[in-house]
Structure 1
Amino acid sequence: MTQLNVAGFEVHKGFLDISAQREVLSAVRGVVAAAPLFTPVTPRGKAMSVRMTAAGDFGWISDRRGYRYSPVHPDGQSWPPVPDCILGIWRDLTGAARAPECCLVNFYGEGARMGLHQDRDEADFSWPVVSVSLGDDGLFRMGGTERGGRTQSVWLQSGDVVVMGGAARRAHHGVDRIRFGSSTLLEKGGRLNLTLRVVT
């Protein structure tokens, strides 16, 4: 495993070996079975290119009413609990006293991307955000706290984990593209990104 520090983001290359990746993937499939993936819509009515779901006390949703955390899935049911193997990643890398209240699951199919954005819907920015990559490679772009500044990019492979804390907690970041079919972890291709957050 190699640790990089890029623009204040801690990038743990190869943090999860293939056995751990398969364990986490199995857990994510359980989450999706309980809370199906859905396509969020921006407040302007445009469908996002990623599909998502969540586990924990809250899930992050977006629709015509805006961006927010919700205690229920768009279909009205509660989110399933965060699987223990995913909570273990948080504990191992942060040592934080609080457990994450949300594990957001984003699925990137062929052509999907995520524009530069800040994670700013949480109540307390002193807690880190932990991001886990599974499946196809994703080109992760990192900027600063102000939009329009200099950015840096790194390819994230399956098993890589990024910790966004300190100054990076409010930094802009996004996924410009994926290398569809670059991994065999997901049988039909695509990338899963899990982000663990303290919400309240």
Structure 2
Amino acid sequence: MIEAELKARVRDPEDVMSRLEGHGPGRAEVYQDTYFDDASGTLMREDRELRVRTVHGADGTRSVLTYKGARLDASGSKPEHETAVDDPDSMRAVLLGLGYVVAISFEKRCRNYVFDASGRRMLATLVRVKELDETFVEVETLVGHEAELSGALDDVRTVLADLGIAEHDLTSELYTDAVQARRVGRATR
């Protein structure tokens, strides 16, 4: 599957959340993300991701292992493969045993909204990462083939416009890169 996704900085989080609530109540969740790479950083250098995510929410806790291939275009959309993990500590141990190292870990506070728009199932997520001191919105839908990506991204852009998000607020910066830059900046002070 391909995750057709756009991410934007949110200038008025309360307004965007109010608009999203019009699609139905959001689901508050905390994501604990740990990204793995080989010792030389090959995955991140090649714009690929290997992640164990544990999600804590009102419905309980679940974990997933995710692999994302390199970006297919400037939007940041990537092929994605994900599977449930019953024991995230064991999964981390497997990855470490295979020679991977923890590249970065951080927490995201999210509010997720699932709804239909333009004939597609959409997931809109308001995201706060403490270290970044900003709010972001991600809107995504899944497509089966790269040929469907452009149309799906047009539909995602329509949702973002309906949320009051301007084109100049879009960003393709990865959270991993932004958090790492912030941590390096703090360490050099």
Compare the two structures and name the one with the higher strand fraction: 2
Same fold, TM-score > 0.5, yes or no: no
Greater fraction helix = 2
The structure having more radius of gyration, on CA atoms, is 2
> TM-score by structure 2 length?
0.30
* TM-score (norm. length: structure 1): 0.29
